[in-house]
Chains A and B, each alone.
Chain A
Amino acid sequence: MKKKIELLSPAGDLERLKITLLYGADAVYIGGQEYSLRANATNFSIDEIKEACCFAHKLGKKVYLTTNIVFHNEDIDGVYDYLKQTYEAGVDAYIVSDPFIIAYIKENFKNVEVHVSTQNSTCNKEAVSYLKSLGVDRIVPARELSKQEIKEIIDECQIDIEVFIHGAMCTFYSGRCALSNYLTNRDSNRGGCSQVCRFAFDINTNQEEQEKFTMATKDLNMANHIKEMIDIGIRSLKVEGRMRSLYYLATVISSYRKIIDRCYDNTLTKDFVKQEEKILGRVANRETSTHYFNKQADETDQYYTGRQELSNQDYLALVTGYDKENKMLVLSERNYFEPNTEVEIFTPSGKTFDFIIEEIYDENLNILEKACHPEEILKIKFEEEIEQYSMMRIKVKE
């Protein structure tokens, strides 16, 4: 029997890692302090990597370490010690792009997988076969591949294939873009990408009033195609976003967890996917598309002028405990809310509770007119205790 498809989440720090595993990710990918393509994320120290692995392994889940920069000479010396330390910390796989690292890991470490990063933009069966011959265990192909191309690779190469299902997309082939180097002196292939593809440019046309030239892409959202991805034999579904917030990750992982599980127990309906798409739509601040999966990406997959990235205010509070004596949820406030707000609490185990807030109390049980101080401890009446790390958001209407 085929293994159940893996849901792979990003995690920028330990708190995010724990949340995302509790919310249903089967594995997480993280970056250490060096050699990862998100040099400006919080990232993990060696001790934190150890703690991350312990936490994940206790849950029967995995931790993959991104070591996917394109190395310069100066990066080489320290990497061998780093690999040894992180191997001993217990990582389950390295996500790499530079082939000398593949060879080194395979020669020196046992029982750890090597996954080739999308940074390599692996586009075809022959390139996959070549990487497989080097001992690579999994490949994250170029994000430019169609469903048919991915299927052909899986059918012919019989190697684990991981694909992105949600989050930001690069405009250019990964690895084939140095705009950030030239415009901002930040090395995109060593984790310094300054997202120049989201800048607005002037273009020399003959038009008198010319719109700015932009090339920014919409985000990826594959919620409606998970069943197809399972059917063609993809091994792992990856969410983008090591620098995203706790709420974003909890929401996205929770939605995809439910969709995947429903695919396997044959209870997935169009209405369910539609509702999850609404939830996913509200947590993101960009429009989404499926890009190359079923067609060549075109103008409908990009943004042009006049778009603003609005910050999302849906996330109202984190559930931090339960006051049994007074039958109240203990909350840590995140965004403004007031009595009579229609809310929804969603939990790591996938339950949801919809209700209207009647009264808001401070931690000393004084009634408040509104909740308007981020991280303030609040209480609201609630009949039952619910899991820690549950989150309260504005109810997403069906």
Chain B
Amino acid sequence: MKIAVAGKGGAGKTTISGTIARALARSGHDVMAVDADVNPMLGISLGLGMDGTERLAGIRQELSESGAEDAIHEHTIDGLIERFGEDAPDGVRVVVASRVDMPDHGCLCCGVSADRLLREMEAGGRTVLGDLEAGIGVLTRMQTGSLDVVLVVANPTPKSIEVARRAAQTAVSREIRVLVVANRIAGEEDLAAIRSVLGEHEMAIVPEDAVIARADAEGVAPIDLDENAPGVRAIVAISERLVALPV
């Protein structure tokens, strides 16, 4: 199964991606988390800490600076995962796709597109989860049917809802299933704001949660801080919903 997470910057994509990856791994799935953001931070919400996350981004950098990139051109996708990847808690494997100082789309070593990367990594029955760059750029470059589902994360603010609307519309036009995640919901008014624009789509609701805010402030994985916090439980429930989807 191939899942991608999209939305406006700051909407909670990375927190939701990391927590879903951990939850899927805990329920026995072989999870490949792909940090497809040119500003990679998925490591934080997976539980690798700020330093571990920066190191992970550095592996990608060092490989191209050392010229090793050319040497691994012909490697299989498994070989690439082996070289670029890092183990996160619960057995999640994580890779960073793009260099911070030389942004290019997708690509581990030879400029493959993000959707091809996700497709190839699915081989061997992996569950692939891609945390995309803020905005809709990567989605607009995706081919029809290249993902099983896109989680479109929306906060109850006008700009976040507008970006989510464009992301959902883009995914639908590519025949990709959309699940809107209404995030940081503090009350009926918040939910109504999101529903009024995105009401036609399937939706999951994640409540505003002080535990998630504290995890982000401290640079730890929310699921490690308190797996029973309402926000964390709501995200874990999304992972269960994803597993139940027909592929």
Mutual binders A and B: no
- Residues of chain B having any CB pair with chain A under 8 Å: none
